[in-house]
Structure 1
Amino acid sequence: MCRTEDLVRRHIDAFNAHDVDALLADFAPATEWVTGDYTVPAGQLREFFVSAMESITPQLSLLRIIDGGDVVAAEMTETWTHNGADRSASLIAVFDLTDGKIARAKIYREGSADA
């Protein structure tokens, strides 16, 4: 497995463990995170992930990684609970990498990016 795949798998493992410190360790200092039409404001990634992990308890299942070098796509299924209802959606995450870190992520979720 290449280092790029290791990075994506480590990201998913940290996400599923709700380990925000491990999750953020692979982000560049000024990472841009876009999910649906929402861009997380600069400096608020920690708060964004903590809030999501506490309120909807999301989990990701990796289907495949498409390694384009400095741009990587991961096809996944996300499951979460919202207002007591279990939900799931297919998603694609496109990661732009700089110096081995995630510099930008754009999340495309089937249907709506809203929970």
Structure 2
Amino acid sequence: MTTATKPAEIVGRQLDAYNARDIDAFMACWAEDAQFLAFPDTLLAQGAQQIRERHVSRFQEPNLHGKLISRMAVGNMVVDQEIVTRTFPEGTGTVEVIAIYEVEDGLIRKAWFKLGAPVLNKTA
């Protein structure tokens, strides 16, 4: 395994692309047959095309940003704790996220996401 294919680095590259809103760089981290799930087992997107479609509109959000709080990796599994800033229908706010990634052959093969409740920014 080279440095470029370490699971934590693949996940880090994916988060950097997410924050840059670079859909091509983001998708370069995902396997063609990847699964994108709400934890524990609700399939949200199957395959790279559905994952891309799910993120194209999200990447248009002007405030989109995932702030990494912590990351741990064991073998091919990577767990991130993040605070994600989003533009929700009700306004801009944040949501706590735990993301669990399974990486095989240098690509994200499966990912589970557990979201907290959105917290809207207060306006004065």
With structure 2 as the length reference, what TM-score do the two structures score?
A: 0.79
Q: Measure, in 2, the Cα distance between the counterparts of 1:104 and 1:41.
A: 9
Aligned length in residues: 111
Is the aligned partner of 1:92 residue 2:95?
A: no
AA aligned opposite 1:34 = L
Check the 8 A contact 2:81/2:96 in 1, yes or no.
yes
Q: After TM superposition, what 4+ stretches of structure 1 lie above 6 angstroms from structure 2?
A: none
Check the 8 A contact 1:56/1:82 in 2, yes or no.
no
Check the 8 A contact 2:71/2:79 in 1, yes or no.
yes
Is the aligned partner of 1:20 residue 2:20?
A: no
For residue 35 of structure 1, report the CA deviation from its aligned partner: 3.3
Q: Measure, in 1, the Cα distance between the counterparts of 2:31 and 2:108.
A: 6
Q: Measure, in 2, the Cα distance between the counterparts of 1:107 and 1:58.
A: 17
Check the 8 A contact 2:78/2:102 in 1, yes or no.
yes
CA RMSD of aligned residues (A): 2.0
Could you give the per-residue CA deviations for residues 31-81 of structure 1, whole angstroms, max 9, x where no partner exists?
A: 001136451144311111102222575210001111011111011100111
Q: Measure, in 2, the Cα distance between the counterparts of 1:57 and 1:48.
A: 17
Gaps spanning 5+ residues in structure 2: where? 119-124
Equivalent position SS for 2:117: coil
Gaps spanning 5+ residues in structure 1: where? none
